[in-house]
Chain A
Amino acid sequence: MAVAADMVMTPFGKRSQLYERLQSGEVDRMRQRLYNQYNDPTPAQRMMRFVKDMG
């Protein structure tokens, strides 16, 4: 139990969790970067074709 508690309950565990969350910067900025880097037009093109085919 001491190992489990030290993972999530103690100052060490809490700090470790926060470290994981912030280690690469703010996660919402990463989400924005993902949005800006995402360059696969296929899903939108497929749906556009479907909508057009609907007549």
Chain B
Amino acid sequence: MLDGFDESYNHLNFLDRAATVARQRGQSLWRTEQGRITSKALRDGREVWYGSKRINDVTTHSGFTGTIKTLADLYDKQHDPEYKDIMTVEYEGERISYSYLPPRNAEELALKRRNIELWSQQTLGQMGRYPDFCAQLVVGLFDWAHIIEKTNPKWAENARAYHRHASRNDLCLTHALTDQYYDRTKRVSEQEDPDLILHIVGETKEGAVVRGLRTLATLAPLSDEVLVYPNRARDADEADYAIAFALPMNAPGLKIVCRDLYAEHADPDRHPLTTRFDEVDAALIFDDVVVPWERIFVYKDPKLLAGIMYIHTWAQYSTMLRLITKLEGFLGIAQLLTRLAKRNTSASSQILLSSLMQDIEILRACMQVAGSNGYRAAGGTWAPLLSPAYRVHSIEASDRAERTMEGLLTSTLMLSGGASDLNNSEIGPFIDRYFRGGATTTGSTCG
């Protein structure tokens, strides 16, 4: 039980006023106070679109409520005495999430790893864009500031200030890096429609004006802010396309266009992961959005921007650790189901299960090496030593795991009949009898 937590309190029924207050203070809409999540503050005027309709309140839409609860529970855990010291740390006089801590040595990197593993385990590794990931990007930005400094000290201070802002307010972020729909035979600056790719179209006293499309902003409908920069280099004469910045999700002119909301009509009994962990991807349309000057980290500088992917160093570490947890989830469910069906005694099942075990063990060893061979990055932050080989192997392992699950569980994966059918008095008894497999109750097989 959390300190001061009122059991009757429903975090989805917080006052709308919280959004205004949070915005005025520059706080996270997910900021917790005494264990109470202010997710209702996501009603902040953000322009979320789905199926030709605008969603005015993501907190009550069934496409989001399950994931909101998952995230709310995780943020609440930061106040739980059992988890507080695992998830948060004192840094420059403030209590911040370990996700935002720029580690100063190997010990602090190990403590960050413990926090990453907690977030991963709580989401079964199924949320690639859990808030830890983008927080680690801001750690990277903080370290990269020493490079920015050589070009423009003001931008470097913007980067450091953004780390202060994001960490102290525990912001939930997304990022948008990809130029998606354009003529690949032409250069960025030579598209028939120059607005197809996000670019600078003007300047005001308050900031730069940007226009165009940028994807793939996973979790954007539920995030506080978005980090925007391109994942492909710009040529020297493409300065208007060379910008890196951060922006609140309710910035005027920013349109968030959602992909299918898998959880919208999903039955939690039949789609237990979908209804808890769907981190909706979105395309962002910037319709003459003003980016405040103090939120710009690179401006019209293709040469500097070419190095920005460096900031992914710590986020990649987070991704690798999360993926191990995800593979452990595959292994765990495969072990349970093969045991129930008594398939675990067959050589073919054991060989398939061992391939999952093999990949998990190899990736654990990679992460052990990444941590123990850590180094002090040029900006002074302690960094894991990650080889591209580790990441390539993890992707191959993920693909292998999917095929392994199919090989192990075969046609039973094409689920017909589920836990929710048990509730019907007419069909329920039949489901209970015929879907039991090796389990003592049908519920444990179907669920």
Contact = CB atoms under 8 A, between A and B. Distances in A.
A2 B409 CA distance: 12
A11 interface: yes
A3 B413 contact: no
Interface string A10-54: 111101110111011101001101100100000000000000000
A4 to B, nearest CB: 5
Given A2-B446, A6-B273, A23 B334 contact: no
B402 interface: yes
Contact of B262 (A7, A15, A37): A15
A30 B388 contact: yes
B391 A30 contact: yes
Contacts of B323: 20
B260 interface: yes
Nearest to B396: A27
Main secondary structure of the interface of B (DSSP, over half): helix
A21 to B, nearest CB: 6
B412 A1 contact: yes
Interface string B61-77: 00000000000000000
B173 interface: no
Contacts, number: 106
Contact of A37 (B263, B319, B388): B388
Contacts of B405: 4, 7-8
Interface in B405-437: 405-406, 409, 412-415, 418-419
A10 B409 CA distance: 15
Interface stretch (B107-115, B181-189, B194-202, B264-272): B264-272
Query: A15, A17, A34 — which one has the most chain B CB atoms within 10 A of its CB?
Result: A15
B102 to A, nearest CB: 22
A1 B272 CA distance: 10
Contact of B402 (A3, A12, A17, A37): A17
B338 to A, nearest CB: 10
Nearest to B274: A12
A5 to B, nearest CB: 4
A19 to B, nearest CB: 5
A27 B312 CA distance: 16
B271 A12 contact: yes
A31 B113 CA distance: 26
B5 to A, nearest CB: 29
Contacts of B273: 3, 6-7, 10, 12-13
Contact of B272 (A2, A11, A16, A27): A2
Contact of A27 (B270, B395, B402, B412): B395
B26 to A, nearest CB: 29
Interface of A: 1-13, 15-17, 19-21, 23-25, 27, 30-31, 33-34, 37
Given A3-B272, A30-B392, 17 more contacts: A1-B413, A1-B445, A2-B270, A2-B419, A4-B333, A7-B126, A10-B274, A11-B260, A11-B262, A12-B263, A13-B273, A19-B128, A20-B394, A24-B319, A25-B231, A30-B388, A34-B389
14 contacts: A1-B337, A1-B412, A1-B418, A1-B446, A1-B447, A2-B415, A2-B418, A7-B330, A19-B128, A20-B394, A24-B319, A30-B392, A33-B388, A34-B388
